[in-house]
Amino acid sequence: MISIEIKDNAFLAKGEENLQQTLIISQDNNDGVKGTVFEITEKELLQADQYEPNNYKRTKVILQSGKEAWIYTAVVPR
């Protein structure tokens, strides 16, 4: 996890902080993160897409259990 600065004015207008802890994709299969999986509808997933700031992207991952899930990761400039 890293902290990134959010510059998306629409996101910040919702009262969110400009520094956010977020995930980044790692090439190390030993890396992981603990969290909670929520089952939501396709409509709710699209609403979540609209909520996230513009420098986040939705990525499909395989959980330790073998199930697929979506996570939001930061798009980090290189």
The 10s digit of each residue's pLDDT in 17-75 is 777 777 777 888 888 888 899 999 999 999 999 888 888 899 999 898 999 999 988 88
Contact between 42 and 49 under an 8 Å Cβ cutoff? The reply is: no
The domain in which residue 27 lies consists of 2-74
Q: Is the pLDDT of residue 77 over 90?
A: no
Counting beta carbons within 10 angstroms of the beta carbon of residue 56, is it exposed (0 to 12), middle (13 to 18) or buried (19 or more)? buried
Q: Is the pLDDT of residue 16 over 90?
A: no
Q: For the chain, how many structural domains are there in total? A: 1
2 or 72: whose pLDDT is higher?
72
50 or 8: whose pLDDT is higher?
50
User: From CA 69, how far away is CA 38, in angstroms rounded?
Assistant: 9
* Cα–Cα nearest to 56, from 38, 35, 36, 71: 71
